[in-house]
Amino acid sequence: MDALDDKVLESTLAESLVPDEKTVSEDEFVEVVGGALEAVGGTLLFKMCVQNEGEGQHVAAASVGDGGNRQFLLLTLPTGGGALKVETISRSSNPVAGIAAAYAGLMDAFKTAA
């Protein structure tokens, strides 16, 4: 898969993932993110629920593509509902962004060792 422009990738995923204004469960978040990633051939790396600036957020890290074309994404959604925010890790100021690339590198090392 060719590398997609960061803004195109972010907006494509975000447009498809805008849940209703309601409390969003972890299962609902995983379902929405999983469907979107499937549509672009992405892989969920990890997910967590965190407090960021006093607000509960579901956060998922994902990768799209492979090898030199691999891009890392951070998908965030307030636990109280609202719009999903999708951004490449290189453009994100979220503290979780730094974990995603390190996690992917660790998983690559495990695959090589296995």
| pLDDT tens digits along 54-68 | 889 999 999 898 877
> Can you tell me the distance from the alpha carbon of 46 to that of 102, in angstroms, rounded to the nearest whole number?
12
Q: What is the widest separation between alpha-carbon atoms in the chain?
A: 44
Which backbone phi and psi does 22 adopt, to 5 degrees? -165, 170
pLDDT at 62: 92
User: Does 36 score more than 50 pLDDT?
Assistant: yes
pLDDT at 57: 92
pLDDT at 75: 92
The reply to whether 1 falls in a domain is no
User: How many structural domains is the chain composed of?
Assistant: 1
The reply to whether 17 falls in a domain is yes
What pTM value is reported for the model? 0.73
Domain extent at residue 38: 6-113
The reply to whether 72 falls in a domain is yes
The reply to whether 57 falls in a domain is yes
> Can you tell me the distance from the alpha carbon of 13 to that of 37, in angstroms, rounded to the nearest whole number?
8
> Can you tell me the distance from the alpha carbon of 101 to that of 90, in angstroms, rounded to the nearest whole number?
10
